[in-house]
């Protein structure tokens, strides 16, 4: 307590000066409209500046939460869009009146996740995501970005999973040319991250540059008609009967931060039946 009193006594002239200045400013501002308006305008400007900076800092700290929320919303929209393509349109009669409705089929579920690590500098590249068994992830599930396939889950821990990347020479994805349903297999040819190669398309199939390449749906990893890329060029190599098609990817997979895991409920049902009938 004595230290506080000693401090006040030592700085009493300065303290009195500050108090008198504040009183003078108050009198000058409150009893003169022009000065009052100028003071209010200046104080609002200063207050607004600091509030803006504080708001930007708060928004930055909340980005992760907002990003997670948006990712979950996108996952729900992606699920609805994928399942909508599978829903048949049927005619029903209600009170002798025929109406056209769409029966909802919930074949696919979508799990959102963040990409923790993503390698793309070797022949065998992998992705680590922050979703695992606890979130319902299992090996064999396809992993997508907002625009297309990026890999397949090969190992799932409790809260993390390892994904074999599209940029891996061991990865193959069943695909087709959208306009004529010609089937083929997509594989990566190192080391260009912009392209993959599509093979096993017979040479009698009509192809054109710019044709869209999509997933075939003939596996439990990816739904059908998910865009992969467009045909850049094609040729029949010497001694081969099938086209070698160069496909430009739609998505830059090496720049991704978020992803979706595709859970095919039909695939799980098939596996259960297979386990019940091991002779199949």
Length of the chain: 280
Q: Which tokens in the block code for residue 145?
A: 């970005």
pLDDT of residue 272: 44
Residue span of the structural domain in which 172 resides? 107-280
Check: CB of residue 253 under 8 Å from CB of residue 164: no
Confidence at residue 155, expressed as pLDDT on a 0 to 100 scale? 93
Note whether residue 180 is domain-resident. yes
pLDDT band at 268 (very low <50, low <70, confident <90, very high): low
* pLDDT-derived band at 276, boundaries 50, 70, 90: very low
pTM assigned to the model: 0.65
Write down the pLDDT at residue 101.
Answer: 47
Q: What is the pLDDT of residues 187-203, one digit of tens each?
A: 998 888 999 999 999 88
Helices H / strands E in the chain, number of each: 5, 14
With respect to residue 20, please indicate whether it lies within any of the assigned structural domains. Answer: no
Beta bridge partners of 262: 110, 142
Residue 99 confidence class, pLDDT cut points 50, 70, 90: low
pLDDT value at residue 72: 61
Question: At 146, phi and psi to the nearest 5?
Answer: -65, -20
Tell whether 4 is covered by a domain. Answer: no
Q: What is the pLDDT of residue 80?
A: 62
pLDDT recorded at residue 190: 87
Instruction: Check: CB of residue 112 under 8 Å from CB of residue 137.
Output: no
Checking if the pLDDT of 273 tops 50, the result is no
3-state secondary structure of 164: strand
For residue 138, give the CATH number of its domain. Answer: 2.40.10.340
* pLDDT value of residue 166: 94
Label residue 253 exposed, middle or buried (CB < 10 Å: 0-12, 13-18, 19+): buried
How far apart, in whole angstroms, are the C-alpha atoms of residue 115 and residue 260?
10
- List pLDDT tens digits, range 127-167: 999 999 999 999 999 999 888 899 999 999 999 999 999 99
Question: How sure is the predictor about 184, in pLDDT bands with cuts at 50, 70 and 90?
Answer: very high
Please, what is the average pLDDT of the chain? 78
Residue 238 placed within a domain? yes
Q: What is the DSSP letter of 87?
A: P
Question: Percent of the chain having pLDDT more than 70?
Answer: 63
What's the average model confidence in pLDDT over 86-108? 57
pLDDT tens-digit profile of 14-62?
777 777 777 776 666 566 666 655 655 565 556 555 655 665 665 555 5
In DSSP terms, 234 is beta-bridged to 245
What pLDDT is recorded for position 2?
66
Instruction: State pLDDT tens for residues 170-179.
Output: 999 999 999 9
Does residue 237 form part of some domain?
Answer: yes
Q: Check pLDDT > 50 for residue 90.
A: no
Return the higher-pLDDT residue of 225 and 86: 225
Q: Report the domain count for the chain.
A: 1
15 within domain boundaries: no
The verdict on residue 241 lying in a domain is yes
More confident residue, 229 or 21: 229
**What is the C-alpha separation between 117 and 129, in angstroms, rounded?**
7
Q: Are 83 and 108 in contact (CB under 8 A)?
A: yes
Please tell me the distance from the alpha carbon of residue 198 to that of residue 211, in angstroms, as a whole number.
Answer: 12
Q: 99-130: buried (b, 16+ CB within 10 Å) or exposed (e) per residue?
A: eeeeeeeebbbbbbbbbeebebeeeebbbbbe
- Categorize the per-residue pLDDT at 233 as very low, low, confident or very high, splitting at 50, 70 and 90: very high
Helices (H), the chain: 2-10, 12-30, 33-61, 63-86, 265-276
pLDDT of residue 228: 94
Asked if the structure places residue 67 within a domain, the reply is no
CA dist., res. 242 & res. 200, Å (int):
5
């Amino acid at each position: 307590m004595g230290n506080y009193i000693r401090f006040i006594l030592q700085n009493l002239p300065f303290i009195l000066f500050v108090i008198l200045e504040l009183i003078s400013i108050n009198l000058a501002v409150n009893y003169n409209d022009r000065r009052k308006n100028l003071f209010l305008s200046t104080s609002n400007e200063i207050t607004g500046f600091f509030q803006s900076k504080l708001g930007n800092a708060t928004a930055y700290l909340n980005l992760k939460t907002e990003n997670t929320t948006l990712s979950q919303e996108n996952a729900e929209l992606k699920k609805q869009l994928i399942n909508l393509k599978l829903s048949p349109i049927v005619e029903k009669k209600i009170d002798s009146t025929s109406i056209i409705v769409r029966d909802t089929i919930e074949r696919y579920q979508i799990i959102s996740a963040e990409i923790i690590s993503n390698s793309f500098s070797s022949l065998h590249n992998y992705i680590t995501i922050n979703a695992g068994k606890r979130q319902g992830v299992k090996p064999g599930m396809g992993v997508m970005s907002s625009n297309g396939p990026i890999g397949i889950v090969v190992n799932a821990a409790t809260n993390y999973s390892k994904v074999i990347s599209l940029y891996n020479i061991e990865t193959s994805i069943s695909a087709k040319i959208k306009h004529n349903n010609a089937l083929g297999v997509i594989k990566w040819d190192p080391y260009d991250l912009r392209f993959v190669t599509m093979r096993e398309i017979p040479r009698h199939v009509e192809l054109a540059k710019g044709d869209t390449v999509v997933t075939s749906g003939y596996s439990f990893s990816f739904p059908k008609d998910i865009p992969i890329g467009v045909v850049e060029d094609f040729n029949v190599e010497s001694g081969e009967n099938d086209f070698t098609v160069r496909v430009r990817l739609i998505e830059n997979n090496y720049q991704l931060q978020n992803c979706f895991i595709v859970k095919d409920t039909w695939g799980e049902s098939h596996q259960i039946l297979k386990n019940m009938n091991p002779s199949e």
